Amino acid sequence: MSSDKYANILSEKLDEANMAKLQALKNPAVLRFIADAIDLCKPEKVFVSTDSPDDIAFIRQLALDRNEETTLAIEGHTIHFDGYHDQARDVARTKYLLPEGVDLGERLRSTGRTEGLAEIHGFLDGAMAGKIAMVRFFCLGPVNSDFGIPCLQITDSSYVAHSEDLLYRNGYEQFRRLGDSGEFFRFLHSAGKLADNNTSSDIDNRRVYIDIEDETVYTSNSQYAGNTIGLKKLALRLAIRKADREGWLAEHMFVMGVHGPGGRKTYFTGAFPSACGKTSTAMLPGESIVGDDIAYFRNIDGAARAVNVEAGIFGIIRDVNPTDDPVIHDVLTKPGEVIFSNVLITDKKPHWLGMGSELPKSGFNHSGEWKAGAQDADGKEITASHMNARYTVNLERLANVDEALNDPAGVVVGGIIYGGRDSDTCVPVQQAFDWAHGIITIAASLESETTSATLGAEGVRKFNLMSNMDFVAVPLGKYIRNNLDFGASLEKVPPIFGVNYFLRDADGKYLNGMLDKGVWVKWAELRAAGDVDVIETPTGLIPKYEDLKRLFVEVLDKDFTEDDYAEQFKLRIPENLAKLERIEKIYRDIPDAPEIIFETFAAQRQRLEALRAEKGDYVSPLD
């Protein structure tokens, strides 16, 4: 398309003020992407948002005017409902568009780029007719930073646009500094045809397609934020590929400050599959949070530094209550900007599962008018609030937000934590021998057992490589190699820790309380600083009893007996050998798996078998 045609398309849909906002960027690639989107989606008009408070306020008001959100009793609070069948990430219809000759392996969903673009363009053709297309500029990571990635989002959902203002750093001024570069991520979304309640009605044609060649994400016929807020997990996929090319890491991790003795603060990052304690770790009482979901890592002057990619939280609201989550609960019950989604509403007040008080017996929720005992067309119970109901807030609202949240230089990573749901194998906390051992035997061997809240059988172990399995956008072996190479490039290498909050005894009873994780994290901080000694086992380095006994008193005012220690930290050799066999079998089927994986597994197996020959299947840490 010629530059004249681009100009004509833009001038037809943009008034003088909005055209001036685009022209001020002096970026042909920006104009071209917007013009192509207008030509395809055919909106009635286009609104261009800068970083100005007036533009941001316009978006929020539009969400209310269009009934995509409704005000609640507390000032600043709004409620949004997604369609009944549009309540989660559509994993099956999320695919990479691969150019000819590119193969990401069997574990990553993909389709050919030519046919995929034709399909998604067909769904988006005319999808914005009669609507306003909103052009948004954001930055992943702090602005004016080596970490920052400019992003351009076009959407016809004011709810999506409003959510992004809470979740991401505004980036219009970043684009002004970008000049004529085309180096930015692109996102095009349409909610598609809307039902009477303003929810996407054509969900059979819901698609989330990621064009790795043009670094563009297309989404059709959905409003659920996990499918439509492109800068979240969809952008993580693009960032993993960019990091692969440029020699840094994009990870599904929190960033937090753990406070040690004498006013010391050590920054940790951590990766946990869903329902394994990620958010509760990032929000531990007494510590500070930089981010709860996605982190970028760079080697800067020999040290690993990390930033929170986001500026807000799109969090699961189920079980948020004043006892377990006092900081979040405080934000959700005080004036200030909060978007609730898919919770129960009565008298303009939100109610959700596990909120710490009795739920009303009727109200309005994601299914419409609701009463206790309601069932859907398939006879399935309709809960008062959806199991995946969410809240969206800006991190600045949290009392425990860390002062380094927007530091362009990021924070020095003092330690990395990986955790899964494991009933019978791994001890509550251990340190890897070194970076490669940690990446291979902890991070790349991460498993999580399914729970009663998961579809299918309970207790099934699911492999989840570094808690990033759903988002890896390069061949799995290459992704592991990138992590190994990153550690090898560092002069100051962060220690790697594995944690397990879900160990059970023979009767199925949990061996630890929910708050014990605060002790494991405090021990990791002391260990990262070199303040405590360890016991060496075949699988890693574990704490000494006297250090944990002291920490349980200091952190929880709780007794930790020698029997507790012996039971929780005994080495379960048969279970560890079985895990090695499971994970190694997975990697034997991955063509590009680095040979060091199998060498590391073989060495760990040899250590375990040697100890078993000497002391039996189960070895006490006191022995």
Catalytic (active-site) positions = 276
For 190, which DSSP code? Answer: E
**Cβ count near 456 (within 10 Å):** 7
**Cβ count near 189 (within 10 Å):** 32
Residue 31: phi and psi, rounded to 5, are -60, -40
Q: How far apart are CA 193 and CA 228, in angstroms?
A: 15
Residues in Cβ contact with 65 at an 8 Å cutoff, skipping those fewer than 6 apart: none
Rounded to 10 deg, the angle between the 28-41 and 3-13 helix axes is: 60
Residues in Cβ contact with 408 at an 8 Å cutoff, skipping those fewer than 6 apart: 142, 143, 144, 145, 146, 147, 148
C-alpha radius of gyration, the chain, whole number? 25
Continuous segment of H or E residues that includes residue 165:
helix 158-167
Sign of CA dihedral 406, 407, 408, 411: negative
Structure tokens at 460: 């099934």
Type of residue found at 500: N
68 and 158 Cβ atoms separated by less than 8 Å:
yes
Specify the 3-state DSSP secondary structure of 22: helix
Residue with tokens 């991070």, as numbered in its chain: 443
Residues in Cβ contact with 491 at an 8 Å cutoff, skipping those fewer than 6 apart: 302, 303
Q: How far apart are CA 480 and CA 563, in angstroms?
A: 38
Alpha helices (runs of H) in 396-489, residue ranges in sequence order: 435-438, 476-488
Q: How far apart are CA 134 and CA 623, in angstroms?
A: 65
Structure tokens at 422: 């494991």
Residue 90: phi and psi, rounded to 5, are -90, 85
CA atoms within 13 A on the CB side of 389: 29
516 and 428 Cβ atoms separated by less than 8 Å:
yes
27 and 135 Cβ atoms separated by less than 8 Å:
no
Continuous segment of H or E residues that includes residue 346:
strand 344-346
